[in-house]
A and B are shown apart, each in its own frame.
Chain A
Amino acid sequence: MNSNFLFMGYTRSDVINLVVVLAVALILIPLTIESDYWYASILIPWLCLALAAVGQQIVMGYAGQLALGAAGFMAAGAFACFNLILRVPYMPFPVALMLSGLIAAAFGVLFGLPSLRVRGIYLMVATLASQFFIVWMIDKFGWFKNYDTSGIITAQDIVIFGKPFTTPLEMYLVVVVVVAVLTILAINMTRGSTGRSWMAVRDMDIAAESMGISLLRTKLQAFAISAFFCGVAGALFAFTYLKSLEPVAFDIKLSFKILFMVILGGLGTISGAFIGAAFILLFPVVLNSLGNNVFHGAIDATIISAAEQVVFGALIIVFMIYEPLGMTKLWENVKQRFRFKREPKATLPKPQVT
C-alpha cells in the first residue's frame, strides 16, 4: 500500500496484519470455537508444527542450507523440557521451554558444523545424523526417560504462575502466545541484518564472504536459531498435543513432513511455514473424514484409506507444477487480483511472469 514505516521498519499493512491475526487467534477463535476437537487435534498441532517449519525455513529457506533433521531437534527440545521440569525444583514452564530451546540450539550448532565443509544434497545426508543420533541417544540412555520401562512417559501438566493449563482451550492459548512471540522474532530477524547475511550466504556464499560476512558465524547462527525454534516446537508438541513423550514420535518421517511443509508453503517466507504446515497436516485429515463420511460402506474401507494417500500425493505434484514457488505465492496472486479489482485506476505493473 504505502512504504511509510510506521514502527521500526514495519509498514502499516504489517501492523494491521499483526493486529488482525492476533485478534483472530486470541479473541475470535476462543469465542467462537467450542469443540475440543478443533483445539486439541487441529489448531494445537498445526501451530506446533508451523513453529518447527519456521525453524526449518530459517536454515533452509533463508540461509540456504539443505538440512534434514528438524524432528531430531524437536525430540531434543521435548525431552529437555521433560527433564528440566522433572529434575529442577520449582522450574516454571516458560523458563523450561526457553531452556529446552537453548539445549536444542546447542545440538543445532553441533550438527551444523558439517555445513562449513559440505553443501547441497551432501549436507542433507550429513544433517541426517542429528535425526538418528538424538533419537538413538534418548532411546539408549534410560536417564532421559527417567528409567521408564515402556519408554513412553507422561508429560507433566503445564503450570504457569501456579495456574494449571490443562484444558484444550487453555493449552491452545499457551501455544498461541509462544508461537506468536517467536514468529514475530523470526520476522524481525529475517528482515534485519541477521536475515540479510543469511540470504547473502544463501545466494552466493563466496560473494558474501568477500563482503565481510563470516560464513562460520552466519551458518552456525542459522542452525542454532533453527534448532531453537524446533526445540521449542517439539516441547510444545509433546506437552500440549501428545501429552506423552516417546522418541518414536519424532522419527525421520516427521522431519520429511516439516521439509515438505517448507517447500510446499514457499521457501524463504515465514507465512509459507504456516500455510505449508496447514496443508501437510490438515489435508490427510480432511481426506480421511471425507472418505469415511461420503463413501462409508459404499467402497471397501481399505481402498478408501489407500486412495487418500494417492490423492494427497497427486495434490502435492499438482501444486508443485502449478505453483513451484509455494502456496504463499498463490496467496499473493489472489491478493494481487483483488487489489486490481478494488483499485481499477491504480496503474500497477503487471505481475511478472516467472
Chain B
Amino acid sequence: MFRRHMHLAAAAVALAAVSATAIPASAQETQYFPVASSRVGPYSAMGTGYYGAQIDYMNYVNMNGGVNGVMLTWQECETEYNAVKTVECYQRLLEKDGQRIVVFDTLGTPGAYAVINRMAEDNVVLAQYGYGRTDAADGRVWPWVFNAASHYWSQIAVKMKFMAEQEGGVENMRGKKIVHLHIDSAYGREPLPAMRKIAEDWGVTLVEISVPPPGLEQQSQWLQIRRERPDWVTFWGAGSGMNSTAMTNAARVGFPRNRMMYVTFGAAEEDMFPAGDAALGTYAMANALPGQDYPLVKAIKEQVYGAGKGNLSDQSRIGSVYWNRGLGAAVMWVEALKNAQEMHGKVGKAVTGPEFRDGYEALNMTEERLEEIGIKGMIAPFAISCENHEGAGKFAVMQWNGEKFEQITGWEAPLDPGYIRQLVEESAAKFASENNITPKSCS
C-alpha cells in the first residue's frame, strides 16, 4: 500500500516537474484574460453560450498565430450569475503568474454593479457587452467602463419605437398601456428611468410588475396582466426558466405573443424552445444576430471544433444568439488589444490595463473592418469615443417562428438618440457629484 503511494507520488512529482519546465520552454509573450463564467444554475444557457464563444474565439486566435504573436491565456471562475460570487471571482482572477487582467466581463448587470467601482483603481476595463450600468456610457465619468454593444436605455427606446411603428405612429401611442414585466434585480430595473420618461412624453400608461428571481413562478403576475389588459408587454427576464415561463403563462391567460417584446437576455433559442408552441410570434431584441453563415463562425467551427478544441458540448449551439454575442464580445477584446499594441508601440508584446483601455476606446468597427473579421451583418457597425462609450446604440427586432428567429427590422436607433444621451449624461453627472468625481476632459 505504502509502496503504491510512493509510486504515485513520484509520478505526480515527475509530472509536475515536466509541466513546470514545459511552460517556460515556450517563453512567449502572453496576454491573460479572465473568464468569469456562469455555467450552472438558472442562467446556465447564457453563460455556456457566451463564455463558450469567448474561449472558442481565443483558441481560434491562438491557432492562427495569436495577436501579432502574443498568445492569449485565460482562467475560468464560476460566478453562478451571483453578485457576491462575482466579487470573489474578480479578486481571484485579477492576477495570474504576475500578469494582471486588462478587461473584465461579468455578463450580468448585478455582477457589473458589484465590481464597477473597483475598475478605475485596479486599472481594469469593464467591458459591458450589451448589459450593465447604463450611465457608464458617459466616458468622462466612467473612463474604464464601456457598453460596446449598446445599453438598456437605447434598447427600451428602440422597443418603444417599434411599438409605435406597429400602432401607426407615436401619436397613436397616447392612451396605450404597456406592462414592464421584469425580474426584480438591478438588471430588471435598469431600463425604467428612460422608459418612464418616454412613456410620460408619449402619454402611455406604464405598469411595472416585478418577478422575484429566479422567476419560475409568475402566475399572480400574469393574472394581474390579464386584469390590466395592456397593449404591449416589455419582458425583461433572465434565465431560460423565467423566459420560457413567461410565454407559457401568456398563452394560458390568452395574451398574444406578438404583443410581447423580449429583452436581449431572453432573446435566445434556449429561451424559446422550452416554451414550445407558446413561443410562436414573440418579438425579441438583438444586439448580435444569430446565424452560422458568417465567415468567422464557419472558420471557428471548422478549425477549432474540427481540432476537437471547441468549448460547446453541443455543436448545434454554434451560431446561436448567446454564442454569437459572446463572439462579438471576444472580437472586441482582441481588436482592442491590437489597437493598444499599435498605439503604444508594443506590437507583439503584452499590454497593460491603461494601454488596453486606450485601445478599447479607439475601437472603430466600420462595415469594412467587420467584413475583414468575418462578422459583417452580425453586429451593427460602431465607433467608441472618449465621451461616448456606448457603441452603436442600435438594435434589430427579431421574431420567433417556432424553429429560429427571423429578422424583422434592420439596425434601428431610438427615435431621438440625443434624448437618451441627455438622460445618460444627467445620470452620470448626478453620480459624479454624489461621489466627488471630477469628469475627465475629452477635448
A151 with B189: CB separation less than 8 A: yes
A242 with B92: CB separation less than 8 A: no
Does residue B244 face the partner (Cβ distance < 8 Å to A)? no
Q: Which of B76, B78, B84, B190 contacts A249 (CB 8 A)?
A: B84
Chain A minimum-CB-distance residue to B88: A41
Does residue A210 face the partner (Cβ distance < 8 Å to B)? no
> Provided the pairs A301-B39, A302-B44 are in contact, do residues A246 and B92 lie with their beta carbons within 8 angstroms?
no
Does residue A285 face the partner (Cβ distance < 8 Å to B)? yes
Q: Which of A246, A300, A301, A308 contacts B110 (CB 8 A)?
A: A246
Does residue B8 face the partner (Cβ distance < 8 Å to A)? no
Q: Binary interface profile of B, 36-80, with partner A (CB < 8 Å = 1, else 0)?
A: 010110001000100000010000000000000000000111100
Does residue A149 face the partner (Cβ distance < 8 Å to B)? yes
Q: Binary interface profile of A, 288-317, with partner B (CB < 8 Å = 1, else 0)?
A: 110010001000111001101100000000
Chain A minimum-CB-distance residue to B213: A248
A149 with B193: CB separation less than 8 A: yes
B192 with A149: CB separation less than 8 A: yes
B75 with A292: CB separation less than 8 A: yes
Residues on the B chain within 8 Å of A285, using CB: 88, 92
Restricting to B93-118, which residues have a CB under 8 Å from any CB of A? 94-95, 109-110, 113-114, 117-118
Residues on the B chain within 8 Å of A308, using CB: 78
Residues on the B chain within 8 Å of A292, using CB: 75-77
B117 with A244: CB separation less than 8 A: yes
Min CB gap B362→A, angstroms? 29
Does residue B120 face the partner (Cβ distance < 8 Å to A)? no
Complex CA gap A151/B114 in Å reads 12
Does residue B186 face the partner (Cβ distance < 8 Å to A)? yes
Min CB gap A214→B, angstroms? 38
Does residue B91 face the partner (Cβ distance < 8 Å to A)? yes
Q: Binary interface profile of A, 62-91, with partner B (CB < 8 Å = 1, else 0)?
A: 000000000000000000000000000000
A45 with B91: CB separation less than 8 A: no
A302 with B92: CB separation less than 8 A: no
Interface size class of B (residues with CB under 8 A): 35 or more
Complex CA gap A150/B152 in Å reads 12
B48 with A151: CB separation less than 8 A: no
Residues on the A chain within 8 Å of B117, using CB: 154, 243-244
Does residue A170 face the partner (Cβ distance < 8 Å to B)? no
Complex CA gap A242/B192 in Å reads 24
Among B55, B95, B189, chain A packs the most CB atoms within 10 A around the CB of B189
Chain A residues with a Cβ closer than 8 Å to the other chain, count: 31
Does residue B311 face the partner (Cβ distance < 8 Å to A)? yes
Q: Binary interface profile of B, 126-162, with partner A (CB < 8 Å = 1, else 0)?
A: 0000000100000000000000000000000000000
Complex CA gap A151/B55 in Å reads 32
Complex CA gap A289/B78 in Å reads 9
Complex CA gap A302/B84 in Å reads 20
Q: Binary interface profile of A, 36-60, with partner B (CB < 8 Å = 1, else 0)?
A: 1100110001000000000000000
Chain B minimum-CB-distance residue to A253: B82
Complex CA gap A289/B427 in Å reads 38
Does residue A152 face the partner (Cβ distance < 8 Å to B)? yes
Residues on the A chain within 8 Å of B113, using CB: 150, 152, 244, 246
Residues on the B chain within 8 Å of A241, using CB: 84, 87
> Provided the pairs A288-B78, A292-B77 are in contact, do residues A301 and B37 lie with their beta carbons within 8 angstroms?
yes
Residues on the B chain within 8 Å of A309, using CB: 40
> Provided the pairs A149-B192, A149-B427 are in contact, do residues A305 and B88 lie with their beta carbons within 8 angstroms?
no
Complex CA gap A40/B110 in Å reads 19
Residues on the A chain within 8 Å of B55, using CB: 301
Chain B minimum-CB-distance residue to A168: B91
Does residue A205 face the partner (Cβ distance < 8 Å to B)? no
Complex CA gap A285/B84 in Å reads 12
A246 with B83: CB separation less than 8 A: yes
Chain A minimum-CB-distance residue to B37: A301
B110 with A288: CB separation less than 8 A: no
21 A–B contacts from the bound complex (CB under 8 Å): A36-B91, A41-B87, A139-B184, A151-B189, A152-B110, A241-B84, A241-B87, A242-B83, A243-B117, A244-B83, A244-B113, A244-B114, A248-B213, A249-B84, A288-B77, A289-B92, A300-B313, A302-B39, A302-B313, A305-B39, A309-B40
Q: Which residues of B are at the interface with A, using a C-beta cutoff of 8 A?
A: 37, 39-40, 44, 48, 55, 75-78, 83-84, 87-88, 91-92, 94-95, 109-110, 113-114, 117-118, 133, 184-186, 189-190, 192-193, 210, 213, 311, 313, 427, 435
Q: Which residues of A are at the interface with B, using a C-beta cutoff of 8 A?
A: 36-37, 40-41, 45, 139, 149-152, 154, 241-244, 246, 248-249, 251, 285, 288-289, 292, 296, 300-302, 305-306, 308-309
Q: A285-B88, A301-B37 are in contact. List 10 more A-B contacts (CB 8 A).
A: A36-B91, A37-B91, A41-B87, A41-B88, A150-B113, A151-B186, A248-B110, A296-B76, A305-B37, A305-B40
